[in-house]
Amino acid sequence: MTTLKRVDVHVEGIVQGVGFRPFVCSLAGRLGLSGRVRNDVNGVHIEIEGARTGVEEFLTALERDAPALSEIERVTVVSGEPAGHRGFTIATADPGALRTAAALADLAPCDDCLRELADPASRRHRYPFTGCANCGPRLGITRARPRKRPHTTMAPFAMCADCAREHDDPDSRRFGDPATCCPACGPALKLRDARGTELCGDPVTCAAALLRTGRVIAVKGPGGYHLACAAACEPAVAALRGRKHRAEQPFTVMAAGLAQARRCCEIDDTAAALLTGPARPVVLLPRRPGAPVAPSVAPGHRILGIALPATPLHHLLLAELGEPLALTGGDVAGEPIAYEDADALTRLSGIADAFLTHDRAICTRADDTVLRPLAGEITVLRRGRGHAPDPIALRRPAPRAVLACGATIDSTFCLLDGRRAHLSQRLGHLDDHDTLRAFASAVGHYCDLLGIRPEIVAHDAHPGHLATRHALQLTAAGHVAVQHHHAHVAACLADNGDLGPVIGVVLDGIGHGPDGTIWGGEFLRADLTGYQRLAHLAQVPMPGGPAAARRPLRMAAAYLGDHPCDPGLRDRLAGALQQAGTGRETPLTSSAGHLFDALAALLGLRDTITYEGQAAAELEQHADPAETAAYPAALTTGEGPLVVETADLVRAAADDLAAGTATAAIAGRFHNGLAAAVTRTCVALRQATGLTAVALTGALFQNALLLDRTLQRLRAAGFRVLRHVRVPPGDGGLSLGQAAVAAARDHPVAPA
Ligand SMILES: [Zn+2]
Ligand SMILES: [Zn+2]
């Protein structure tokens, strides 16, 4: 008879979200062992039992064969009596434990706290700062480690006797929670008018009444102020747009719960799980016909950004209002969002009719996280509250800690320590000194919070960027310049735990090329240490200089050249070129973003651009997804890199337009044509290099149609394709790529 053995194994380190539990499950199955595995506070807990030799083999293989992305720091084994498990299962995580495991990202209120909030008998009934050790703000209120009251913005509030008792009671779910408070001792909610005068009455009830009459309210959220109005009220939404000087960027819709959200968007089980999860992201989902949402919320879009309440305050406000809210960041025309009360009152008083605010300070600003289902995977498009600063595990550890300073647009930074890459929340467009100050202070906050002292500083290769200039001023053991598009490929490699080399396909807005031209449609042979430009989209002049980025008709004229067009179009193009003037600098660009701009202008979707990536987003929304035809584009071979003749795509579109083809069909054929051109180029590069893996990266791969068509064609051609999931494909992910490159160069790793 075989001896039965049972052990409890606790594994600490990077073991969550890296495929550890399925690995344990299949290992146990292979060895004929039974038991279960689950995530808990500090890692993974395994109960395993069976034949003694099997259990011993299990313990050896656990460390030897662990998934590539995991990093085991400590294994504790305790023997016990066999419990008679049948088979091996993955148990659901202890929910409370799981939430504390993500130690520093802000978490939505837990069910226990929501029950208290709604319970008239509770002393926290309708108290908007209700929270516990399993939920509530973290990044937004914690200044430094360890996470104790004096290190948080709760420090000025002295706990009452009741709260102190809960805080010190190991059996209370508020045990050790530094944010423990109640109406008797904690922060208080206030409603103020545009001049800052406190309005009387219950703040939530009065705010809801104002929203019902079409007013705009600035609401203090976990990472800063939002501007809110009733989502169904077109005059209110239009007024908010007008006052914010954000002509067309889509707003988010916040619903009270899933039922209300389902009236706005198509929500499948995956999306529902994300929406109701503790990170409370904004999820971009197909808009439902008849959604109770004003046209101005997301003009020209078939998708809506939808979210559920992220704090007790949002729960109270939405419940009181009884209809969805339209939300946008509390900023004017793309500045950093306001998070300090006095600053909010100054900057937003021309926009908001009232302020729903309180006296608990926010110590760093964080926008909402934005996710989108893209080609079968939920992809992070913008990292923010609920995700930052939790680490992304890299495949290889950095020899020395790295700070990477990111790019100008959608700037983020990354602190890399060992294998843990802490990618920051988006910090806005780094093009003025206010944003730079905000950036520098967020870096300082992360260093304090995470206890990381970076020795290496990585930055974009463009010397003119504010982020680069800031990086070069920092004292460090080394500064590493990383080319923009190489950083994109590196970010995609890091996202996938890959080391390369790959064919990196970067379809992006603009970035500085080492040859002095503007890059943005690049095919690079790249690994983490270096790259080589193998092919690119054809370069075209930008008539009138960089201003062409805001005037897409100029780009259409540049692509079409002397191609015969119908007279109406010819006149529009001539007018655009005349406006651009002559003799001014016309830099060359291979930007894929400008290619999309040109097509959107050609189809009459837009003549001016009000936000980055607008034309590409709208062209995707406009395209007929059922269209299967594809415009051809020639591939030119010569001395240097291969060239994809993208003007062919634009000219074919102009011909179809003249022939009266529907613009939705033209947009579809354009997407398909670009996907086909990318695939043909990769096939040619595979022949030349032997590389069989492709990494798709750059802001244009936020476009679901382009990503989907490109993935399908590349896979059909036999490529292994890496795409972004955890990290934004656009510039928001760039700092992770810079950090990975700097670490690889600090201790060069031979390609796998
Ligand atoms: Zn709670
Ligand atoms: Zn209290």
For residue 112, how far is its CA from the centre of ligand 1 (angstroms)? 6
For residue 110, how far is its CA from the centre of ligand 1 (angstroms)? 4
CA of 158, nearest ligand number: 2
- Kindly give, in sequence order, each residue whose CB lies less than 8 Å from that of residue 64, ignoring residues fewer than 6 positions away: none
For residue 426, how far is its CA from the centre of ligand 2 (angstroms)? 34
For residue 178, how far is its CA from the centre of ligand 2 (angstroms)? 12
Tokens 């500083």 — which residue? 457
So what's the pLDDT on residue 493? 96
So what's the pLDDT on residue 95? 44
For residue 311, how far is its CA from the centre of ligand 2 (angstroms)? 19
CA of 166, nearest ligand number: 2
CA of 163, nearest ligand number: 2
For residue 114, how far is its CA from the centre of ligand 2 (angstroms)? 17
pLDDT band at 334 (very low <50, low <70, confident <90, very high): low
pLDDT band at 584 (very low <50, low <70, confident <90, very high): low
For residue 128, how far is its CA from the centre of ligand 1 (angstroms)? 12
For residue 503, how far is its CA from the centre of ligand 2 (angstroms)? 58
For residue 331, how far is its CA from the centre of ligand 1 (angstroms)? 30
CA of 99, nearest ligand number: 1
CA of 131, nearest ligand number: 1
So what's the pLDDT on residue 698? 95
d(CA 540, CA 555): 8
Q: How is the beta sheet containing 4-14 ordered, strand by strand?
A: 71-80, 4-14, 43-51, 34-40, 88-90
Of 7-11, 146-150, 409-413, 725-729, least confident by mean pLDDT is 146-150
**C-beta separation of 504 from 477 below 8 A:** no
For residue 187, how far is its CA from the centre of ligand 2 (angstroms)? 10
CA of 96, nearest ligand number: 1
* pLDDT of residue 32 exceeding 60: yes
pLDDT tens-digit readout, 426-450: 887 888 888 888 889 899 989 988 8
Of 70-79, 213-222, 235-244, 669-678, least confident by mean pLDDT is 70-79
CA of 111, nearest ligand number: 1
For residue 257, how far is its CA from the centre of ligand 1 (angstroms)? 18
CA of 100, nearest ligand number: 1
pLDDT tens-digit readout, 218-240: 999 988 999 999 999 999 999 99
- Comparison of pLDDT for 249 and 442, the residue scoring more: 442
So what's the pLDDT on residue 2? 60
pLDDT band at 614 (very low <50, low <70, confident <90, very high): confident
* pLDDT of residue 676 exceeding 80: yes
At residue 255, the 3 state secondary structure works out as coil
CA of 182, nearest ligand number: 2
CA of 109, nearest ligand number: 1
CA of 135, nearest ligand number: 1
For residue 155, how far is its CA from the centre of ligand 2 (angstroms)? 13
For residue 272, how far is its CA from the centre of ligand 1 (angstroms)? 20
So what's the pLDDT on residue 283? 96
* pLDDT of residue 578 exceeding 50: yes
Q: How many residues does the chain have?
A: 752
For residue 226, how far is its CA from the centre of ligand 2 (angstroms)? 28
For residue 360, how far is its CA from the centre of ligand 2 (angstroms)? 14
For residue 210, how far is its CA from the centre of ligand 2 (angstroms)? 30
pLDDT tens-digit readout, 87-121: 888 876 554 343 333 468 888 999 999 999 999 99
CA of 162, nearest ligand number: 2
For residue 448, how far is its CA from the centre of ligand 2 (angstroms)? 28
CA of 130, nearest ligand number: 1
- Please state whether beta strands 478-482 and 456-460 pair in parallel, antiparallel, or not at all (unpaired): parallel
For residue 364, how far is its CA from the centre of ligand 2 (angstroms)? 25
Pure H helices in 31-125 = 52-64, 95-101, 111-118
pLDDT tens-digit readout, 486-542: 999 999 999 998 999 999 999 998 888 888 889 999 999 999 999 999 999 999 988
Beta-bridge partner residues of 378: 373
CA of 184, nearest ligand number: 2
CA distances from 717 to 710, 713, 722 (A): 11, 6, 14
For residue 115, how far is its CA from the centre of ligand 1 (angstroms)? 9
DSSP per-residue codes, 169-184: -TTSTTTT-TT---TT
CA of 159, nearest ligand number: 2
- Kindly give, in sequence order, each residue whose CB lies less than 8 Å from that of residue 136, ignoring residues fewer than 6 positions away: 106, 107, 109, 113, 177, 179
CA distances from 51 to 33, 58, 281 (A): 7, 10, 45
For residue 133, how far is its CA from the centre of ligand 1 (angstroms)? 6
Mean pLDDT value of segment 370-387: 90
CA of 110, nearest ligand number: 1
* pLDDT of residue 75 exceeding 60: yes
For residue 142, how far is its CA from the centre of ligand 1 (angstroms)? 17
d(CA 118, CA 547): 54
Mean pLDDT value of segment 439-464: 90
CA of 137, nearest ligand number: 1
So what's the pLDDT on residue 733? 95
Share of the chain above pLDDT 90, in %: 59
CA of 136, nearest ligand number: 1
Q: How is residue 645 annotated by DSSP?
A: -
For residue 110, how far is its CA from the centre of ligand 2 (angstroms)? 19
